[in-house]
Amino acid sequence: MNSVSIILPTYNSTTTLHECLESIKSQNYPSEKIEIIVVDGGSNDDTIEIASKFTEKIFINEDKVEERGRIIGIRESQNYIIGFIDADNILDSPEFLQRMLEPFDDHEIQASQPLFYSHREQDPLLVRYCGLIGGDDPIAVYLGYFDHFCYFSGKSIGIPVPQEDNGRFLKLDLGELDTTNKLPFGANGFFFRRHLLNLMDRSGYDIKKKLVSAAKSSDHAEVQKLLPALEGGEVDMVLSGMTMSGARNQKFAFVGPYFVSGKSFLAKYKKWASVKDASEVNSPNTTLAALKGSTSQVFVETLIPKAKLIATRDYDEAVDMVLQDKVDALIADYPICLVSVFRYPNENLVASVTPITYEPIGIAMPGNDPLLVNWVENFLNTLEGSGELRMLRNRWFFEGDWLKKLP
C-alpha cells in the first residue's frame, strides 16, 4: 500500500479542525503509512492545541498565505504520494484514502481527486449548494469550469477530455489540452506523485494549479532531450550523469571521467538475503524496476531477460516501488541506489557495494570547439589535483547529512 503525506494548512481553524483530523485518523488505512503535517499561519485560538493531539509535525507559516503553507508542508513531508486537505474538509468515508490512493497502482496516473463533493443534511445551505453544483463559484460552473460532478449538468468535468471508466475511478487524459489555464483541478482532496514537483515552475504560490500543469506534461522525457539539445547548439555542455559510451563518443566530445559509476541494485535486505543463486534473479518470478529509456532498462532486458520489468517514469517512483514491496529490486546507477540507502535508513535497504558494470561519467560537449573542450579539461584536472573533486565525491556520495534538507 502507498504511503501518503497529508498537508493541512490552518489559521484559526478551531471550529472544524478536530472533526477534520478525526476523519483522517479514522481511515481504514495503516496509520504508519499516513503522515499528517499541519502548517499554521499564526492562529490565536486553540488550533495548535487541537492539532497537537493528532500529529507532532506542526510547522509555522510566517507568510500566512495558504499556498505558502502547502509549500512548507511539502518540504517537510517524507512520502512519495502527497495530498492536500483543508482544515474545513471532513473525509466522508473510512475508505476515502484507500479509494484516492488506489489509482496510483496504475503507473500512468499522476494525480487523483474525488469525483464528488459530498454534503450532510445538517450542513449550511451554501455548503450543500456548492456540493451539488460541483464548485464554489456558480458563474464558473455555468461556464463549464467545475472540478467535481455537477448534478445539474450530469457531468464530472466541464471541459472535454478523453475519459476511461475503470469501474472504481475515471481516468482522464490531459495530454491533448492546449492550455492549463482552464483546468479546474487541484482542489481539496487532491493527491499527486512527488516527482511532479520536479516538473513545475516554482515561482509564486499557486502550487495546486502548477502541479496540475506538471501532471499534464509529465509524459515528456526531458532527460532524453539533452544530447539533441547539445547537438542543436541549444546548450554548450551536458552534466547529467552522462555515461561516456563509444556510441556517444562518435558524435560528441567528452571530458572526464569525473566519477565512475555503474549498474547497481537496490532492494530490501529480507528479499535479497533469500536469493541463493544468480539464476533466481533471472526468473519470471522476479520483478525489477528500471528508469524508462535508460541504460538500466537495456541492462535488464539484455542480461536479465526472464525477469518481469517495470519501466518507471523517474527514480522517485522506482524507489517507492521498492519501499512498497511492489518490485523485488531496482536496477539503477550506483549513486541512485547508494543515496536511497542513506535517505531511508529505517527501511532495511541494501545496495551492491561494488557497481555491477563500469560506467565512466563525463561532461558531454560539442566536438567542433576544441578550445572549450581543452578549457573544461584543464578545469577538471585542477579540481582533481587540488583534492576538491575528492571532497565533492565524499560530500555527495558517502556522507548523508545533506539528505536531511531534501523535501
> H or E element: which one contains 406?
none
Contact 248, 361 (CB under 8 A): no
Alpha-carbon distance of 208 to 67, in angstroms, equals 8
The pLDDT assigned to 147 comes to 64
Q: Which residue has the cell 484516492?
A: 100
Give the pLDDT confidence of 42-68 residue by residue, as tens digits.
Answer: 999 999 999 999 999 999 998 877 788
Is residue 267's pLDDT more than 70? yes
Domains delineated in the chain: 4-111+179-217 (3.90.550.10), 222-260+358-405 (3.40.190.10), 263-351 (3.40.190.10)
What is the band of 21 on the pLDDT scale with cuts at 50, 70, 90? Answer: very high
Condensed to tens digits (0 to 9), the pLDDT of residues 160-202 reads 667 777 777 878 776 655 544 455 556 678 898 887 775 555 4
Question: CB-based contacts of 389: which residues, under 8 Å, 6+ apart?
Answer: 258, 380, 383
Q: Which residues of 303-338 are buried (b: 16+ CB within 10 A; e: fewer)?
A: ebeebebbbbbbbbbbbbbbbeebbbbbbbbbbbbb
Give the pLDDT score at 148: 67
Model confidence band, residue 17 (pLDDT cutoffs 50, 70, 90): very high
Q: pLDDT confidence of 39, banded at 50, 70, 90?
A: very high
pTM of the entire predicted model: 0.54
> What 8-state DSSP symbol labels residue 374?
H
